[in-house]
Structure 1
Amino acid sequence: MAAVLSPIALSDPLKTKDVAVETIERIEVAASPSEILEKTIPSTINELIALRARQLHNDQPIVAYPHEGTDYVDYSPRQLDQVVERAAVKYSSWIPQRLHSDEPVQVVGLLGNSDLDYLVAFLAISRLGHSALLLSTRITDEAYESLLSSTKATALIYQNIFASNAEIISQSIPALKTGTIFAASSSPETSTTLRSASLDPARETNNICFIIHSSGSTGLPKPIYQTHRAALYTYSQNFGLVGHITLPLYHNHGICCLFRAIHSRKKIYIYNARLPLASKHLLATLKQHPDIRILYGVPYALKLLSETDEGLRLLSQLEIVMFGGSACPKPIGDRLVASGVNLVGHYGATEVGQLMTSFRDHRQDKGWDWMRVPPHLKPYLSMEARGPNLYELCVREGWGSKVATNRDDGSYATKDLFEPHPSIPDAWKYYARLDDTIVLENGEKANPLLVEGVIRQDSNVAEAVVFGANKARLGAFIIPTTTSNLEDAELVDAVMPKIEEMNANMPAYSQLSKDMIRVLPRDVDYRRTDKGTVIRAAFYRDFAKQIDAAYVDKQSGTLVLPRSELLEFLRAEMQKRVALKAGVVLGDDADLFSLGVDSLQAIQVRSFVLQNLKVDGDKVGRNFVFDFPTLGKMADEIVRLQSGGPEREVVGVEDRISAMIEKYAEFPQHVPLNNPADGKYIVVTGVTGSLGAHAVANLVTQASVRKVYCLVRADSKQSAGYRVRESLRERLLYHQLSLPSRSKIIALPSNFSDAHLGLAQSDYDDISSSITHLLHLAWSVNFNKGLESFEADCIAGAKNLMNLCLASKRPQPASFNFCSSVSATAATPVDVVPEALPESYSYAQGMGYAQSKLVTEHLCDRASRQTGLRTRVLRVGQIIGDTQNGVWNNTEAIPLIFQTAKTVGALPELDETPYWLPVDVVAKACSEIACSGAESGVMNVVNDKSFHWSRDLLPLLREAGLQFETVPQQEWIRLLRASEPDPSKNPPIKLVDFFASKYDNDKPRRSLAHATSRAQGGSPSLQNAGTIDKSLIRKIVSSLEAKWSAGSLSENEPAVIVVGGPCGSGKSTIARALADKLSLPMIEGDDMHSKTARERMGSQIALTDADRMSWLAHIRGAAIDRLNTTKAPAVLVTCSALRSIYRQELRTLQEIAGFRTLFVMLETESRDELKTRLSLREDHYMAPEMVDAQVELLEAAQDSEVDVVPVDAARDLEEVLSECQDILQGMVKI
């Protein structure tokens, strides 16, 4: 039960005269003081609190917050008012109080968990006369900085747990004042009060009360402003019930529920922010406090309570159970209503406030998911037809809670679709978002419009509709024209050439295969708009059965062919699906995955077999192509199934490993030549992966390294260069590399399965004449493939790379350094894995990936013993985000586990002791060992320091800002299975089966330790590696959260592309050529200089920073004007942008106009070259003598300037143009 006494000390509530009292004095004296107080209407949030503290029953509880756990403490309006006053006095020492309405309103950021201190801080900001910027605790530091900057915040109040965030923000916004939050519950009584303010209520009510923000799902979050007038209008619409709120106060729905209770003078229980949202805490609160009559919660809270009989019973005893924030799944809502719960839905939006609820006579009306339009909303609500029975909700100008507009008439279109109730007037059910994007089950997003447009080109097609939401691949319905004479199969054949042409330019997941096309009757009835176009959402609903049926494999095949004919039949089909390179033959024993077959094509091949050949579909497993990855093996299995032959004899994995080793175990001898190296010439594979990118970035900065050859899959050298550059950019490494370092990188297209690695003979000869070290980091990461599918590219590829080392024209062969995996020894029966080959092949983990690594470890050993080749097996363990930025691939298993803190609200309590290493540490360790004098052998590149998942990692994740409940591992699996099934909203669901295989049991798990003395002997970085700490985990969480929230700038946003560099670097030449090639407008930055500035530069007088800031402002204005008038996706601007502060000044285009900025910085090492170029220019004010000053001023990109891409401008114009064009097309949607 709630405590009777509060720890807040009492003081005289009427000791000072404030806004509320002044409001009272304005009322005509026609009643007693108490009656006047009761009739007073507040004009601001502060007046509301002050009034409630002075009105009748001001000692009755109004807010309850737990002292600890669910031990709630009551606070009356009088007590709340007093503690707000004390907090305001405290904050006024560094946030000045406004005393007059003419004084500017400041924005004060508030960052903290949703507890009592947070509420008091918000109210204190209001009492000081300012606006609170309510910051979510789940966004990135970049998002905080953006919001604080765009709202022009002057101060930030934060809780200690967010001190590291505040420090980072302060470094980015030095003028921002910061301070910690006032501890409301433990503050001592004081007689100090604020000065009496004379604020005009008529003006104050239109000031901004608070600022919340969008989620940032399509970019950085945007601020949304709420005036006192709009807020109080919303809060006046309340239920007059004692409530319990589980929503955070920095969400609009949460703060609305709180102030509705205060407005109605009914107590509100605020959920303990220190506790995870869990069933036991919810149940405890509802049981201990029977005065709660309404529960405000998110659907997840209702889900938790609906899972127990006790929860259902307690909910059924409440007068109202209201949900908001997201849609409640229908099965959960139906279960609650069937149990007698008065479930009420709430629909609204931050931009327009609460609009509709599903209030009804719940005893008679079970339509909990039908929103009802209140009478006072009807004049401002517009349901605009988007097709038969589907309407978009729009809010007209004049609605009191509307604070945003996206239409010329001042209205706000929500993009939410509703369908009307068939018999109840003004009742609407939420249907879907007005969005055409199809999200496949793997989370990839496909645009159906392009595919439909291609199909509609055929004159026999009246309509085409692509489907595939939450499915493995796309499908399409075709509706023929009434005049078409084609049969269904003929119509499909007619459209296929165009579809195949389209598929060639689309990613695999966006492709449409022939077997997924269905033809509907030409007279089929489907919903269309007045303009005749299909209503997508309605179509999906009306044809749901046909869509589901399209994904059921048809077992209609009747063909039974002799093996020789069957092989040709399969070969013909595979040749349609696989784009074979010139000279590549699809042989009977060629591994299909090595030839480029992907998982989607594997599904299609299985469907083809079932539709054409007479086989029992139940015996053709889902992994049919993975299990039989060659034409010969597929044919043998099909013949066996058709003839009823005996089960195939399964060759043991150890025998298969042994055979594979013997197949590749012969190596040529090295021929020594008297050609000593003048430095290190290193070949690196796997550069498009994180480990390879960090390894290259580390190697090229070393003075002893002359060249780094990067062998990657690509069609050309240009494509190879693009892939390497983008990989380095993705890991935030490229912009930090100097021009001399970048010039060491040579990217070459390759094919490891080829004896000469797919290299041109001249390139192979060039490498073999110079190579001194080879670092092999590339490997196929596919845990479905069997051992044999790793043969061509990986195992044979490794041998071909060893042969390259043996072909070195040096006195000794180049060292071969192979990145293996701890999975190669994961089944080792001892507790510590030695730095040696395992005693048994059975020690490899039971998957082809691990077995192929073990095969290659043995091949390294054979090559060393046969030829003297120095081979080092670098057995690597779990790699995590880097120490500098925390960048970690968010699609890997562990980041996906972390993400369930967001999508499920829980993380598993695991009894595991991992040995993790950051990727940059592993990369440096591998590079150090590769370049050392270490002898051949195995080295475990594994951390020798472990940590405990639950005792060490989970607390650090909480400190880093993740909020979650810790649950047993099997309970976590259950929660994950029951969570949102859409992988675009809940990516971890994609690996639920994989996670279940590990954690849906109570078996104890062991964590193998690894001997590391040899590895540490060759790597100081490994020797000095520590374990995880607060700083590293914070960086990792911050990086992952940016990806989870899609926090990076969208490529669809208009962009200002700054072509920068010192005078003479070719800015104008490159920009003009790019403008012509890409059909983009261009602004010559030099033309923006004032006449005075040009004269000064012509007289060799350097400009001041003030001159340059004025110039940059003119450039900004010109860029905004050009983008707004041309509607182009981007504008090219020439501007030297030599210093970081100048570039930052141009980046303000984002907050000013919503345009992102990219910098292509042209570099050259030769000042003489720049001077020569300038001397050849006629009639230009910039003299060659100014080159030295500009080069001295030039600042390399800082670590945080990831939007800067340096380009070597000393090359031929076409080379520079080609690279610039690749860069821009990878970063901007042009």
Structure 2
Amino acid sequence: MTSSSEYPLGYGQRLVPHIIDDRARENPSQLFATFPKSSRIEDGFHEVTYGQFANAINASYIGPSELRYAILTVGAIKTGHKAFFPSPRNSIEAHLSLLESACCDVLLTAKKCHPVVEEIVYRRSMRRIVVPELEEWISAPLALSYPFETTFAKARYEPFVALHTSGSTGLPKLVVIPHGTLASIDAWQLLPSEGASPTIIQSFQGIRLFMPFPPFHAAGLYIMLPLAVFCNITIVLPPAEPLTAELADSIHVHGNVEGTILPTSVLSDIVKDTELYNNLQNLKFVAFGGAPLSKEVGDAVKAKSWPVNWLGATELCFTALEKMHADDWEYMKFHDCMGIDFRYHGEDLYEMFIIRDDALNLYQGIFCTFPHLREYSMKDLYSKHATKEGLWRYRGRSDDVIVFSNGEKMNPLTIEARISSHEMVSSALVLGNDRFQSAVLVELAKPTYDQEYQRQLLDSIWTTVEQANETTEAHGRISKSLIMFTSPDKPMLRAGKGTVQRKLTLDAYGKEIEALYIASNVDATPLADQHTLDTENIDSLSSSLTTLIFRSTGILLDPEDEIFEKRH
């Protein structure tokens, strides 16, 4: 990798506000983003040019929805402030904790704001400013230019924006992202000129991309600003309503998009509908992230388009990945420029660490976020490809791993993805920490209170659970009595990107989970289907013991086998 201070076209040393101003001056009619005129996508789209975008920033119109997040981010940078975007889905306790950490004393809201705003203002002394609607910003009279004259060297470690983690394992944590962290993805464009393999962002250059993630979430803001600006992407946004498979398809059909990036839950729903699924063939690629995609869904996508498995994190933006063959869509190949070391975690799992390397300084944005660190773990676990060197499959986070009361461990994500692929299921959470056996909490696509209907659905879903059990360690297999449905009035809690917040959801269902285990009597009587030993004679005892061991562990023993040798 180059260590020169001279970079072609300034890649890796460009600042987002500079690029926006340059395009507004040199090519003001260039499209920055589009958004639907109404909830009827076929009615067409409003277009926002770089000229309009830059003018809205200079006019200092700020607000909390859609493109206003991007405008606010750059406007705050230009005026020496730092924007912080909390998710409206946070609990009031999470909001107050984050606002305290960020030292926020001004709250910007739309005319119609989220109900949590009133509670925040009541609980914390803050100045509240109500801002105009997006259309007023875009049509604002030409404002005087407000130049941003800071150099990259000075701004590299200065704040670009403040965000927070998803809170999937507890209260979300504040993360301040400097300019240098984001500039690392711009630097990846240098790699081909150095004779290195390109990353997948080369495939995104100059396209129209459907981006449905909320802009208060890292994925949404990172795609809308640094990725779009660095790679000349035109962002196509959805209307301000919940994302469904039907809405995503409508954008695919009427939005003139060349690529899409979707939550795995929405992509799974698209594959279940023949018409929506067939429309994927008109896209150059279908990217997904945030959670594992079941093999059935991924293989279906592969038959219509190029599936792009991409990973990011609030703290580092995106990971540098090489382009994969469609057949290997389940795997990722991390570029050498990231400086990654995979360390053995246990069983077939490895934890990914990024090791600081001065020769890779321009590409390792994580060490702009955390300049005091020599290495960084994303706490993500991977397994190797069986035959292809350098290919890694994401298996979940280290804090997702379930540890049973007998010390056995299980990664729940594969079985969760398999159960979630059922057409009647929206999401599934496998649980079992400190228990003898795992259980699963299932959120239906159409939640119901009707217990008779739930019993019918359970019979339908059970076939899928059995299939998932076949590929799961014996100690992690789920019995029919340990399947529980969420209540319609208590859906699974979700982060801004749509992924389920595991710990918060399981905490919310703590009493119901405890009652489920008590009713099943599993912890009192370990899994083996309560098989009875036949002690009539030595042969019947041997036979019943081998059956008991097989049902409990999946290990088939001969009466003459040494059990402690077999367990290895």
Q: Same fold by TM-score, threshold 0.5 exceeded?
A: yes
**In the alignment, which residue of structure 2 is the partner of 1:65?**
35
Q: Say whether 1:420 aligns with 2:384.
A: yes
**In the alignment, which residue of structure 1 is the partner of 2:131?**
181
Question: Is 2:211–2:261's contact at 8 Å kept on the other side of the alignment?
Answer: yes
Matches within 5 A, 1:57-206: 57-69=27-39, 70=41, 71-86=44-59, 88=60, 90=61, 112-113=64-65, 115-162=66-113, 164-174=115-125, 176-187=126-137, 189-193=140-144, 199-206=150-157
Residue 390 of structure 1 aligns with an amino acid whose one-letter code is L
Question: Is 1:253–1:324's contact at 8 Å kept on the other side of the alignment?
Answer: no
**In the alignment, which residue of structure 1 is the partner of 2:19?**
48
Residue 54 of structure 1 aligns with an amino acid whose one-letter code is R
> What's the TM-score, normalizing by structure 2?
0.65
Matches within 5 A, 1:120-519: 120-162=71-113, 164-174=115-125, 176-187=126-137, 189-193=140-144, 199-235=150-186, 237=188, 238=201, 239-240=204-205, 241-259=207-225, 260-272=227-239, 274-290=240-256, 292-337=257-302, 339-357=303-321, 359-362=323-326, 366-377=327-338, 380-387=339-346, 389-397=348-356, 398=361, 400-402=364-366, 410-435=374-399, 438=402, 448=404, 451-452=406-407, 465=408
Distance 1:191 1:254, change over 3 A: closer
- Matched residues in 2 for 1:395 and 1:329: separation? 27
- Matched residues in 2 for 1:53 and 1:353: separation? 25
User: 1:323 deviation in Å?
Assistant: 0.6
Structure 2 residue runs of 5 or longer lacking an equivalent are 1-5, 189-200, 414-431, 438-467, 517-568
User: 1:408 deviation in Å?
Assistant: 8.5
Question: Is 2:69–2:216's contact at 8 Å kept on the other side of the alignment?
Answer: no
SS of the counterpart of 1:73? strand
User: 1:326 deviation in Å?
Assistant: 1.6
Of 491, 499, 506, 1:900 maps to 491
Matches within 5 A, 1:1191-1202: none
- Matched residues in 1 for 2:123 and 2:410: separation? 46
Distance 1:466 1:42, change over 3 A: closer
User: For residues 748-807 of structure 1, what are the alpha-carbon distances to aligned partners after superposition, in whole Å with 9 as ceiling and x for unaligned?
Assistant: xxxxxxxxxxxxxxxxxxxxxxxxxxxxxxxxxxxxxxxxxxxxxxxxxxxxxxxxxxxx
- Matched residues in 1 for 2:400 and 2:115: separation? 40
User: 1:300 deviation in Å?
Assistant: 1.8
User: 1:384 deviation in Å?
Assistant: 0.7
Residue 256 of structure 1 aligns with an amino acid whose one-letter code is Y
Question: Is 2:350–2:383's contact at 8 Å kept on the other side of the alignment?
Answer: yes
**Cα RMSD for the two superposed structures:** 4.2
User: Paired residues, what number?
Assistant: 431
**In the alignment, which residue of structure 1 is the partner of 2:196?**
none
User: For residues 849-879 of structure 1, what are the alpha-carbon distances to aligned partners after superposition, in whole Å with 9 as ceiling and x for unaligned?
Assistant: xxxxxxxxxxxxxxxxxxxxxxxxxxxxxxx
- Matched residues in 1 for 2:433 and 2:180: separation? 50
**In the alignment, which residue of structure 2 is the partner of 1:773?**
none
- Matched residues in 1 for 2:94 and 2:477: separation? 44
- Matched residues in 2 for 1:78 and 1:322: separation? 29
> What's the TM-score, normalizing by structure 1?
0.32
Question: Is 2:396–2:411's contact at 8 Å kept on the other side of the alignment?
Answer: no
Distance 1:388 1:545, change over 3 A: closer
User: 1:267 deviation in Å?
Assistant: 1.3
SS of the counterpart of 2:310? strand
Question: Is 1:144–1:169's contact at 8 Å kept on the other side of the alignment?
Answer: yes
Identity %: 18
Question: Is 1:358–1:368's contact at 8 Å kept on the other side of the alignment?
Answer: no
Distance 1:393 1:210, change over 3 A: same
Question: Is 2:31–2:234's contact at 8 Å kept on the other side of the alignment?
Answer: yes
- Matched residues in 2 for 1:227 and 1:407: separation? 11
SS of the counterpart of 2:177? strand
Question: Is 1:243–1:294's contact at 8 Å kept on the other side of the alignment?
Answer: yes
Residue 136 of structure 2 aligns with an amino acid whose one-letter code is S
Residue 317 of structure 1 aligns with an amino acid whose one-letter code is N
Matches within 5 A, 1:673-1072: 896-900=487-491, 902=493, 984=506
- Matched residues in 1 for 2:400 and 2:184: separation? 36
Question: Is 1:405–1:412's contact at 8 Å kept on the other side of the alignment?
Answer: no
User: 1:51 deviation in Å?
Assistant: 1.6
Residue 896 of structure 1 aligns with an amino acid whose one-letter code is S
Greater Rg by CA? 1
- Matched residues in 2 for 1:546 and 1:348: separation? 32
- Matched residues in 1 for 2:168 and 2:70: separation? 26
Distance 1:308 1:224, change over 3 A: same
Residue 386 of structure 1 aligns with an amino acid whose one-letter code is H
User: 1:193 deviation in Å?
Assistant: 2.8
Distance 1:126 1:225, change over 3 A: same
SS of the counterpart of 1:899? coil
SS of the counterpart of 2:181? helix
User: 1:368 deviation in Å?
Assistant: 0.7
User: 1:344 deviation in Å?
Assistant: 0.9
Larger RCO (alpha carbons 8 Å, 6+ apart): 2
SS of the counterpart of 2:277? helix
- Matched residues in 2 for 1:298 and 1:550: separation? 26
User: For residues 882-911 of structure 1, what are the alpha-carbon distances to aligned partners after superposition, in whole Å with 9 as ceiling and x for unaligned?
Assistant: xxxxxxxxx9x9x931333756x9xxxxxx
User: 1:41 deviation in Å?
Assistant: 7.8
- Matched residues in 1 for 2:345 and 2:366: separation? 23
User: 1:295 deviation in Å?
Assistant: 0.4
Distance 1:403 1:136, change over 3 A: farther
Residue 353 of structure 1 aligns with an amino acid whose one-letter code is C
Distance 1:183 1:63, change over 3 A: same
User: 1:385 deviation in Å?
Assistant: 1.5
- Matched residues in 2 for 1:82 and 1:382: separation? 45
User: 1:247 deviation in Å?
Assistant: 1.1
Question: Is 1:235–1:263's contact at 8 Å kept on the other side of the alignment?
Answer: yes
User: 1:46 deviation in Å?
Assistant: 1.6
